[in-house]
Structures are given as C-alpha cells and as structure tokens.
Amino acid sequence: MSIFEPLPAPSTQRVFRPDPRSFELREEHHRATFSACPLPAAKVLVTIHGEIDASTGPALADYVERRIAGSRRLVLDLQTVEFFAASGFAALFHINVVCARAGVRWSLLAGAHVRRLLEICDPAGELPVSHEPSGTKYLRTLAGDRQLLIGGNNQHRRR
C-alpha cells in the first residue's frame, strides 16, 4: 500500500468471547480429555489428560485459545499426559504465540512425556515450563485423581 492509495473502508471485527458456562464442560478428542476452570484474578487452569498426537494437537491449541479470552494468566497442566508427539510441541508453540499477542502470561506444568519432548524440541527453554517441584501453588494432579478429570465426578477432594 502506498501513501496515495485510499485506506480500506472501516469494518466490524468479531471478537470471540466464550460462554462462561463452557468452563464447566469437558471436551474429548480422540484419546485426550481437555478441561478448564476459571480461577480468581482473571486466571484459567486448563488440564489435559491422555494422548497428544497429530489428531489432538490442533484441538489442544484451539481449546486453549478459546479459554483464554478475558484472562490475564493461564496455567496449562500436562502432568497426566501419557503420550506427547511433535504435533503437541507445535500446539504449545501456537499457544505461546496466541498468549503473547493477547497479553496473557502463561506457565506449563509438564509431566515426564512432555519434558522428554521439550528437551529435544525446546533446548533453549523458550516455553514457560514451571521448574518448581509442585509446579505452582495449585495441587499437583496425581494418578489417583484422574477419575476426577475423566470420570465425570465433579466432587472436589480435600487434602
């Protein structure tokens, strides 16, 4: 566009804002389950269980992108992921770009399978992986808690 060309006509831009009730819904994609819950202070916790591969990687990126609207902070919990392929890294890279554009700070709680791939694909440590033993101030998801995520039991256990 040169300085002599007319500016394009103003237009309306649609902004996606998810239904607040959608945080209560889980989504299942092939062999992965995604869930999200809002936290105080404009934070959102997204928990992923199962396998992230070529069929679920793009769905993961899309799911997270839909959940960060209006948030200032994202915690992405991948501690119970049982398989993590290179397409999962592509999804994490996409999430990193989307969060940077939206001004959302985020951190990644990575399990063994995710850490193994990040050692290969992200040797410089560009992604915000939490290196604290418990990840954040939130309770770490343990193997015994998987039923809470995938079994439909919405009762929260007290520790």
Q: What is the distance in angstroms between the CA of the first residue and the CA of the last residue of the chain?
A: 61
CA-based nearest residue to 18, from 72, 67, 61: 67
Query: Has residue 115 been placed in a domain?
Result: yes
* Dist CA 98 CA 55 (whole Å): 20
Residue 133 has pLDDT above 80, yes or no: no
Residue 22 has pLDDT above 80, yes or no: no
Query: What CATH number did the domain enclosing 71 receive?
Result: 3.30.750.24
- In the block, tokens 């992965």 appear at 32
Query: Has residue 41 been placed in a domain?
Result: no
* Dist CA 37 CA 87 (whole Å): 24
Query: Has residue 103 been placed in a domain?
Result: yes
Letter for the amino acid at 52? I
Query: Has residue 118 been placed in a domain?
Result: yes
Query: Has residue 135 been placed in a domain?
Result: no
Query: Has residue 65 been placed in a domain?
Result: yes
Is residue 118 classed exposed, middle or buried when 0-12, 13-18 and 19+ CB atoms within 10 A define those classes? buried
CA distance readout (Å), 124 to 69, 127, 135, 143: 29, 9, 20, 30
Query: Has residue 23 been placed in a domain?
Result: no
A 10 A CB-CB count for 155 gives 5
* Residue predicted with more confidence, 13 or 96: 96
Of 66-75, 107-116, 128-137, 141-150, the least confident: 141-150
- Give pLDDT, residue 31: 87
pLDDT band (50, 70, 90) for residue 159 = very low
The reply to whether the predicted model has a pTM over 0.75 is: no
DSSP 94: H
Domain count, the chain: 1
Query: Has residue 78 been placed in a domain?
Result: yes
**Is the CB of residue 90 less than 8 Å from the CB of residue 57?**
yes
pLDDT band (50, 70, 90) for residue 16 = low
3-state secondary structure 126-151: CCCECCCCCCCCCCCCCHHHHHHHHC
Residue 106 is part of which domain span?
50-129
